Amino acid sequence: MPKRYKIGLIGGGQIGGILALMIAQRELGDALVVDIPQKEGLAKGKTLDIMEMTPHYGTDVNLSGTSDFSQLKGCDVIIITAGVPRRPGMTREDLLDVNLKIITSVAENIKKHCPDAFNIVLTNPLDAMVYAFYKLTGFPKNRVIGMAGALDTGRFRAFVAMETGYSVEDITAPVMGGHGPTMVPLYRLATVGGVPLTEILSQEKIDAIVQRTRQAGTEIVKLLANGSAYFSPAASALEMAESYLKDKKRIIPCSALCEGEYGVQGYFIGVPTVIGAGGVEKILEIKLTPQEKEALQETLEAVKKAVADTKL
Protein backbone atom coordinates (compact mmCIF):
# COMPACT_ATOMS: atom_id res chain seq x y z
CA MET A 1 0.00 0.00 0.00
CA PRO A 2 1.41 3.44 -0.84
CA LYS A 3 2.33 5.36 2.27
CA ARG A 4 3.12 8.86 3.32
CA TYR A 5 6.29 9.33 5.30
CA LYS A 6 5.99 10.64 8.84
CA ILE A 7 8.80 12.86 10.06
CA GLY A 8 9.24 13.79 13.72
CA LEU A 9 10.88 17.14 14.45
CA ILE A 10 12.07 17.47 18.04
CA GLY A 11 12.32 21.17 18.78
CA GLY A 12 10.13 23.72 17.03
CA GLY A 13 12.51 26.66 17.22
CA GLN A 14 14.38 28.25 14.33
CA ILE A 15 15.68 25.09 12.64
CA GLY A 16 12.61 22.99 13.54
CA GLY A 17 10.29 25.60 12.04
CA ILE A 18 12.28 25.88 8.81
CA LEU A 19 12.42 22.09 8.54
CA ALA A 20 8.63 21.93 8.78
CA LEU A 21 8.37 24.60 6.09
CA MET A 22 10.77 22.81 3.74
CA ILE A 23 9.04 19.45 4.26
CA ALA A 24 5.73 21.05 3.32
CA GLN A 25 7.17 22.87 0.29
CA ARG A 26 8.71 19.64 -1.01
CA GLU A 27 5.76 17.44 0.00
CA LEU A 28 8.24 15.07 1.59
CA GLY A 29 5.75 13.72 4.12
CA ASP A 30 3.71 14.56 7.18
CA ALA A 31 5.55 16.25 10.02
CA LEU A 32 5.02 16.37 13.76
CA VAL A 33 6.82 19.08 15.72
CA VAL A 34 7.42 18.22 19.38
CA ASP A 35 8.55 20.88 21.82
CA ILE A 36 8.41 21.38 25.60
CA PRO A 37 4.97 22.16 27.16
CA GLN A 38 5.84 25.88 27.52
CA LYS A 39 6.48 26.02 23.77
CA GLU A 40 3.57 23.86 22.62
CA GLY A 41 1.81 26.96 21.30
CA LEU A 42 4.85 27.76 19.16
CA ALA A 43 4.86 24.23 17.69
CA LYS A 44 1.13 24.33 17.04
CA GLY A 45 1.19 27.89 15.70
CA LYS A 46 4.06 27.38 13.26
CA THR A 47 2.66 24.14 11.87
CA LEU A 48 -0.85 25.59 11.50
CA ASP A 49 0.59 28.61 9.69
CA ILE A 50 2.43 26.28 7.29
CA MET A 51 -0.73 24.20 6.73
CA GLU A 52 -2.45 27.43 5.71
CA MET A 53 0.42 28.10 3.30
CA THR A 54 0.12 24.75 1.48
CA PRO A 55 -2.73 25.81 -0.86
CA HIS A 56 -0.31 28.35 -2.36
CA TYR A 57 2.18 25.56 -3.07
CA GLY A 58 -0.36 22.88 -3.93
CA THR A 59 1.26 20.39 -1.56
CA ASP A 60 -0.73 17.89 0.49
CA VAL A 61 0.84 17.21 3.85
CA ASN A 62 -0.35 17.11 7.43
CA LEU A 63 1.64 19.13 9.93
CA SER A 64 0.95 19.42 13.62
CA GLY A 65 2.58 20.53 16.86
CA THR A 66 2.52 18.97 20.30
CA SER A 67 4.41 18.50 23.56
CA ASP A 68 3.31 14.86 23.74
CA PHE A 69 6.18 12.62 22.68
CA SER A 70 3.90 9.57 22.43
CA GLN A 71 2.56 11.04 19.18
CA LEU A 72 5.93 10.24 17.58
CA LYS A 73 4.84 6.61 17.24
CA GLY A 74 5.39 5.37 13.70
CA CYS A 75 7.76 8.12 12.55
CA ASP A 76 10.15 7.03 9.79
CA VAL A 77 12.69 9.72 10.53
CA ILE A 78 13.31 11.87 13.60
CA ILE A 79 15.29 15.09 13.35
CA ILE A 80 16.49 16.48 16.67
CA THR A 81 17.09 20.20 17.05
CA ALA A 82 16.03 20.44 20.70
CA GLY A 83 18.59 22.53 22.53
CA VAL A 84 20.03 25.95 23.02
CA PRO A 85 21.85 27.69 20.14
CA ARG A 86 25.05 29.74 20.41
CA ARG A 87 25.18 33.47 21.06
CA PRO A 88 28.09 35.69 20.01
CA GLY A 89 31.27 34.86 21.91
CA MET A 90 30.21 31.28 22.68
CA THR A 91 31.82 28.11 21.36
CA ARG A 92 29.67 25.08 20.58
CA GLU A 93 31.26 23.38 23.59
CA ASP A 94 29.83 26.08 25.88
CA LEU A 95 26.42 24.52 25.18
CA LEU A 96 27.42 21.06 26.38
CA ASP A 97 25.95 20.96 29.90
CA VAL A 98 22.59 22.48 29.08
CA ASN A 99 22.13 20.58 25.83
CA LEU A 100 23.23 17.26 27.33
CA LYS A 101 20.33 17.50 29.79
CA ILE A 102 17.94 18.17 26.90
CA ILE A 103 19.34 15.32 24.77
CA THR A 104 19.04 12.98 27.76
CA SER A 105 15.33 13.65 28.12
CA VAL A 106 14.75 13.55 24.34
CA ALA A 107 16.63 10.22 24.07
CA GLU A 108 14.47 8.66 26.81
CA ASN A 109 11.30 9.78 25.09
CA ILE A 110 12.31 8.60 21.62
CA LYS A 111 13.45 5.24 22.97
CA LYS A 112 10.10 4.81 24.63
CA HIS A 113 7.82 6.05 21.88
CA CYS A 114 9.57 5.57 18.55
CA PRO A 115 12.46 3.11 18.74
CA ASP A 116 12.58 2.14 15.05
CA ALA A 117 13.19 5.44 13.27
CA PHE A 118 16.31 6.83 11.58
CA ASN A 119 17.59 9.57 13.89
CA ILE A 120 19.39 12.70 12.76
CA VAL A 121 20.88 14.86 15.53
CA LEU A 122 21.62 18.58 14.99
CA THR A 123 22.03 19.79 18.56
CA ASN A 124 25.46 21.24 19.38
CA PRO A 125 28.17 20.48 20.30
CA LEU A 126 27.27 18.09 17.52
CA ASP A 127 29.74 15.22 17.69
CA ALA A 128 29.32 14.92 21.47
CA MET A 129 25.51 15.20 21.38
CA VAL A 130 25.09 12.51 18.71
CA TYR A 131 27.44 10.29 20.73
CA ALA A 132 25.34 10.92 23.86
CA PHE A 133 22.12 10.16 21.98
CA TYR A 134 23.61 6.90 20.68
CA LYS A 135 24.81 5.84 24.12
CA LEU A 136 21.60 6.81 25.90
CA THR A 137 19.24 5.11 23.45
CA GLY A 138 21.35 2.05 22.64
CA PHE A 139 20.02 2.24 19.07
CA PRO A 140 22.07 0.50 16.37
CA LYS A 141 24.81 2.66 14.87
CA ASN A 142 23.26 2.66 11.40
CA ARG A 143 20.19 4.50 12.74
CA VAL A 144 21.95 7.36 14.55
CA ILE A 145 23.75 10.10 12.65
CA GLY A 146 24.81 13.68 13.21
CA MET A 147 24.25 16.52 10.77
CA ALA A 148 27.47 18.50 10.43
CA GLY A 149 29.48 17.62 7.34
CA ALA A 150 26.47 18.08 5.08
CA LEU A 151 26.33 21.68 6.26
CA ASP A 152 30.09 22.20 6.24
CA THR A 153 30.43 20.90 2.67
CA GLY A 154 27.48 23.08 1.63
CA ARG A 155 29.22 26.11 3.05
CA PHE A 156 32.50 25.16 1.36
CA ARG A 157 30.68 24.75 -1.98
CA ALA A 158 28.87 28.05 -1.56
CA PHE A 159 32.15 29.89 -0.91
CA VAL A 160 33.80 28.29 -3.95
CA ALA A 161 30.81 29.31 -6.08
CA MET A 162 30.96 32.88 -4.73
CA GLU A 163 34.67 33.07 -5.53
CA THR A 164 34.60 31.45 -8.99
CA GLY A 165 31.17 32.50 -10.20
CA TYR A 166 30.43 28.90 -11.28
CA SER A 167 27.29 26.95 -10.39
CA VAL A 168 27.08 25.40 -6.92
CA GLU A 169 25.60 22.36 -8.64
CA ASP A 170 28.92 21.49 -10.26
CA ILE A 171 31.10 22.03 -7.23
CA THR A 172 32.08 19.18 -4.92
CA ALA A 173 34.05 19.99 -1.80
CA PRO A 174 34.32 17.26 0.84
CA VAL A 175 34.83 18.05 4.51
CA MET A 176 35.79 15.65 7.29
CA GLY A 177 36.29 15.82 11.03
CA GLY A 178 34.48 17.37 13.95
CA HIS A 179 31.89 20.14 13.57
CA GLY A 180 34.01 23.04 14.72
CA PRO A 181 37.05 25.13 13.82
CA THR A 182 39.26 22.02 13.63
CA MET A 183 37.20 20.47 10.79
CA VAL A 184 39.18 19.34 7.74
CA PRO A 185 37.97 20.77 4.42
CA LEU A 186 39.62 18.43 1.87
CA TYR A 187 40.38 21.05 -0.77
CA ARG A 188 42.74 18.60 -2.51
CA LEU A 189 39.66 16.62 -3.56
CA ALA A 190 37.41 19.60 -4.32
CA THR A 191 36.35 19.90 -7.96
CA VAL A 192 34.52 22.33 -10.21
CA GLY A 193 32.85 20.43 -13.02
CA GLY A 194 35.45 17.70 -12.58
CA VAL A 195 38.40 20.11 -12.72
CA PRO A 196 40.47 20.09 -9.51
CA LEU A 197 39.89 23.26 -7.48
CA THR A 198 43.66 23.54 -7.09
CA GLU A 199 43.87 24.17 -10.85
CA ILE A 200 41.21 26.87 -10.74
CA LEU A 201 42.07 28.98 -7.70
CA SER A 202 45.38 30.08 -6.20
CA GLN A 203 46.51 28.42 -2.96
CA GLU A 204 46.01 31.76 -1.21
CA LYS A 205 42.36 31.95 -2.27
CA ILE A 206 41.80 28.30 -1.36
CA ASP A 207 43.33 28.84 2.08
CA ALA A 208 41.00 31.78 2.67
CA ILE A 209 37.95 29.68 1.68
CA VAL A 210 39.08 26.80 3.93
CA GLN A 211 39.43 29.20 6.84
CA ARG A 212 36.04 30.79 6.17
CA THR A 213 34.43 27.32 6.02
CA ARG A 214 35.88 26.43 9.41
CA GLN A 215 34.48 29.62 10.92
CA ALA A 216 31.25 29.77 8.91
CA GLY A 217 28.96 29.00 11.84
CA THR A 218 30.63 31.66 13.97
CA GLU A 219 30.37 34.19 11.13
CA ILE A 220 26.58 33.72 11.12
CA VAL A 221 26.32 33.79 14.92
CA LYS A 222 28.09 37.17 14.96
CA LEU A 223 25.83 38.58 12.26
CA LEU A 224 22.55 37.32 13.73
CA ALA A 225 23.58 38.36 17.25
CA ASN A 226 20.83 36.30 18.93
CA GLY A 227 21.12 32.72 17.67
CA SER A 228 22.83 30.52 15.12
CA ALA A 229 22.27 29.52 11.50
CA TYR A 230 18.97 27.87 10.65
CA PHE A 231 18.22 27.85 6.92
CA SER A 232 21.33 25.92 5.84
CA PRO A 233 21.26 23.45 8.76
CA ALA A 234 17.61 22.64 7.98
CA ALA A 235 18.33 22.10 4.27
CA SER A 236 21.32 19.91 5.12
CA ALA A 237 19.35 17.71 7.52
CA LEU A 238 16.59 17.33 4.97
CA GLU A 239 19.07 16.16 2.35
CA MET A 240 20.05 13.36 4.73
CA ALA A 241 16.44 12.48 5.59
CA GLU A 242 15.51 12.38 1.92
CA SER A 243 18.43 10.10 1.03
CA TYR A 244 17.22 7.67 3.70
CA LEU A 245 13.51 7.82 2.84
CA LYS A 246 14.07 7.48 -0.91
CA ASP A 247 16.98 5.03 -0.57
CA LYS A 248 19.06 7.37 -2.73
CA LYS A 249 22.41 6.16 -1.36
CA ARG A 250 23.83 9.65 -1.51
CA ILE A 251 27.35 10.12 -0.25
CA ILE A 252 27.17 12.86 2.35
CA PRO A 253 29.78 13.79 4.95
CA CYS A 254 28.08 13.09 8.28
CA SER A 255 28.99 12.47 11.89
CA ALA A 256 28.87 8.67 12.06
CA LEU A 257 30.16 6.12 14.54
CA CYS A 258 33.61 4.97 13.43
CA GLU A 259 34.76 1.57 14.55
CA GLY A 260 38.19 1.41 12.98
CA GLU A 261 37.54 3.57 9.91
CA TYR A 262 40.28 6.19 9.56
CA GLY A 263 41.84 4.64 12.68
CA VAL A 264 39.03 6.12 14.82
CA GLN A 265 37.61 3.80 17.44
CA GLY A 266 34.25 4.43 19.11
CA TYR A 267 33.69 8.11 18.24
CA PHE A 268 31.24 9.96 16.04
CA ILE A 269 33.14 12.19 13.66
CA GLY A 270 32.56 13.63 10.19
CA VAL A 271 33.26 11.03 7.48
CA PRO A 272 31.82 10.36 4.01
CA THR A 273 28.75 8.17 4.58
CA VAL A 274 26.39 6.36 2.25
CA ILE A 275 22.81 7.02 3.36
CA GLY A 276 20.08 4.72 2.08
CA ALA A 277 17.18 2.62 3.31
CA GLY A 278 19.57 0.86 5.67
CA GLY A 279 20.42 4.18 7.34
CA VAL A 280 24.17 4.69 7.51
CA GLU A 281 24.97 1.90 5.05
CA LYS A 282 28.67 2.48 4.75
CA ILE A 283 31.54 4.80 5.61
CA LEU A 284 33.74 5.46 2.59
CA GLU A 285 37.46 5.52 3.26
CA ILE A 286 39.54 8.05 1.36
CA LYS A 287 43.33 7.67 1.21
CA LEU A 288 44.52 10.74 3.09
CA THR A 289 47.89 12.48 2.80
CA PRO A 290 50.10 12.59 5.92
CA GLN A 291 49.13 16.24 6.39
CA GLU A 292 45.39 15.44 6.18
CA LYS A 293 45.86 12.55 8.59
CA GLU A 294 47.50 14.91 11.05
CA ALA A 295 44.63 17.38 10.71
CA LEU A 296 42.13 14.56 11.28
CA GLN A 297 43.99 13.53 14.43
CA GLU A 298 43.80 17.09 15.71
CA THR A 299 40.06 17.33 15.13
CA LEU A 300 39.59 13.90 16.75
CA GLU A 301 41.27 15.20 19.89
CA ALA A 302 38.75 18.06 20.04
CA VAL A 303 35.86 15.60 19.65
CA LYS A 304 37.31 13.28 22.31
CA LYS A 305 37.50 16.15 24.77
CA ALA A 306 33.85 17.11 24.25
CA VAL A 307 32.78 13.47 24.50
CA ALA A 308 34.75 13.06 27.75
CA ASP A 309 32.80 16.01 29.17
CA THR A 310 29.53 14.11 28.63
CA LYS A 311 30.83 11.44 31.08
CA LEU A 312 29.03 8.78 29.04
Question: Could you list the residues that contact ligand APR (CB under 6 A)?
Answer: 10-16, 34-36, 39, 81-86, 95, 99, 102, 105-106, 122-124, 227-228, 230, 233
Does the annotation count 56 as an active-site position? Answer: no
Residue 279 CB contacts under 8 Å (≥ 6 apart), including other chains: 118, 140, 142, 143, 145, 244
CB of 220 to ligand APR, least distance (A): 10
Of 39 and 274, CB closest to ligand APR: 39
CB of 203 to ligand APR, least distance (A): 32
Q: Do the Cβ atoms of 105 and 222 come closer than 8 Å? A: no
Of these residues, 39, 155, 179, 214, which one is catalytic? 179
Of 119 and 124, CB closest to ligand APR: 124
CB of 163 to ligand APR, least distance (A): 26
CB of 84 to ligand APR, least distance (A): 6
Of 12 and 180, CB closest to ligand APR: 12
Torsion angles phi and psi, residue 223, rounded to 5: -70, -45
**30-34 and 6-10 strand pairing:** parallel
Tell me the C-alpha distance between 236 and 223, whole Å: 20
Residue 60 CB contacts under 8 Å (≥ 6 apart), including other chains: 27, 54
Of 160 and 269, CB closest to ligand APR: 269
Q: Do the Cβ atoms of 148 and 174 come closer than 8 Å? A: no
When CB distances to ligand APR are compared, the closest residue is 13
Tell me the C-alpha distance between 32 and 10, whole Å: 8
Q: Other CB atoms closer than 10 Å to residue 225's CB: what's the count? A: 8
Q: Is 250 helix (H, G, I), strand (E, B) or coil?
A: strand
Torsion angles phi and psi, residue 38, rounded to 5: -65, -20
CB of 105 to ligand APR, least distance (A): 5
Residue type, 82: A
Of 144 and 192, CB closest to ligand APR: 144
Catalytic residue annotation: 179
